[in-house]
Amino acid sequence: MNKREFIKRIALVGLSTPVFTRLDGLLAAAEGRSSLELATDEDFWAKVRASYKLKPDYINLESGFYCIQPEDTLENFIRHVREVNYHGSYYMRNLRLENKQRVTAKLAEMAGCSADELVITRNATESLDTIIGGVHWNSGDEAVLANQDYGAMRSMFELVEQRYGVARKIIDVPMHPQSDQEIVDTYAAAITPKTRLLMVCHIINITGHILPIRKICDMAHSKGVDVLVDGAHAFGHFEFSINDLNCDYYGTSLHKWLSAPLGAGFLYVNKSNLHKVWPVFASPKEPDDITRLNHTGTHPAHTDLAIANAIEFHNRIGGARKEARLRYLQNYWTDQAREMDHLNLFTPKDRHRSCGIANVGVDGMESSDMAKKLMDEHGIFAVSINTSGVNGCRISPNVFTSIEELDALMAALKSMG
């Protein structure tokens, strides 16, 4: 090995090895126990909670915007900032690409797709808007989306309408569906021979409703329509594989449920669709190279490195265990709330149609007043949502949330009756 190779090897090792391994003993003790059994083990989750530095000022039930990093990931992130700064341009010229490819491969493995179909972005907005704005639209084409979709993507479709004359067909997702077919049929009814693209949330951010993506994709494909999935709240929250979803495009943020540093996301494009999308920023790459869609110039390369640490933390806990715990926490409080006459649940009751997120409102109370009361009178932080048939507070706990905190939420909700 020559000197240059040696320096490079050392630098790569230094950048990839995590420095903290707090969870190891805990997880060894949990070996052999099922995810469902572990979901209710408060001692276990109290130790996971200890991996986070939590503000004592309020109970944080608003993980949906940004799921804070555990201390391990944060310390590694800070270390990467220092390392990249230490190497300077040497890192950017000699190590950055190789590291980015390594992290991309890890993400692709977790997402269940191949590494040449995935590119790291800054967030779900960049990922999804790259597709919405990049499709080779013709005047008169149609796009299907929902009132419950995220505002930024709805605005992007509006822009595409103004720019190219694309008509938007906007559906309402049934809040308490009787079956998957009811949702599939709602989307199917909006498709016409002019429909080019259907966008659908994997999980609706305001209600926590998980949609039957595979069935929607199969239906849309049978009519020749491509599907873009908004997975901003899905990745790292519950288990799935992109290949099983059979979608054409998938965009997510990693600073949400994967607990990566702020400003990280990914875009998946099925290989057969790469040629259908114009990049937003020009790049010299070939049309069959997905990185062509992501030429955003020099960016915080240390964030890419910390994504690997976030995946490592996630895998240590285990995706199935995390999903089971988050669903258990949500059901713990919503099962009680559904019994109270003055409360309205804006999240479907079927266990498989939701996970950690749910939304609750109080009869006769504006959601903004409710959020204020929760914070001012009970020290509980949750976000108010008043749109698309929802007037309540979104409650998004995390793996650090304790049962005592949810008991405090229930006491607060009870007092609002």
* Cβ count near 193 (within 10 Å): 8
Please identify, using beta-carbon distances, which residue of 45 and 64 lies nearer to ligand PLP.
64
Decide: is 62 part of the binding site for ligand PLP (CB under 6 A): no
147-176 residues in contact with ligand PLP (CB under 6 A) are: 150, 152
Decide: is 207 part of the binding site for ligand PLP (CB under 6 A): no
Least CB distance to ligand PLP at residue 152 (A): 6
SS3 240: coil
Contact 214, 249 (CB under 8 A): no
Question: x-or-dash pattern for ligand PLP, window 231-270, by CB under 6 A?
Answer: -xx-------------------x-----------------
Decide: is 230 part of the binding site for ligand PLP (CB under 6 A): yes
% helix, strand, coil for the chain, step of 5? 50, 15, 35
Count of residues in contact with ligand PLP, rule CB under 6 A: 11
Decide: is 347 part of the binding site for ligand PLP (CB under 6 A): no
Please identify, using beta-carbon distances, which residue of 371 and 413 lies nearer to ligand PLP.
371
Strand partners, 260: none
Decide: is 359 part of the binding site for ligand PLP (CB under 6 A): no
Decide: is 205 part of the binding site for ligand PLP (CB under 6 A): yes
Decide: is 35 part of the binding site for ligand PLP (CB under 6 A): no
Nearest Cα neighbor of 110 from 270, 239, 284 is 239
Least CB distance to ligand PLP at residue 252 (A): 8
Please identify, using beta-carbon distances, which residue of 113 and 210 lies nearer to ligand PLP.
210
* Cβ count near 43 (within 10 Å): 8
What are the C-alpha distances in Å from 148 to residues 57, 130, 230, 346?
Answer: 32, 20, 11, 12
115-144 residues in contact with ligand PLP (CB under 6 A) are: 123-125
Decide: is 325 part of the binding site for ligand PLP (CB under 6 A): no
SS3 46: helix
Least CB distance to ligand PLP at residue 68 (A): 14
Q: What is the CA radius of gyration of the chain?
A: 22
Strand partners, 391: 386
SS3 392: strand
Q: Which stretch binds ligand PLP (CB under 6 A): 80-88, 181-189, 228-236, 369-377?
A: 228-236
Contact 239, 327 (CB under 8 A): no
SS3 13: helix
Query: Interface residues with ligand PLP (CB under 6 A)?
Result: 123-125, 150, 152, 201, 205, 230, 232-233, 253
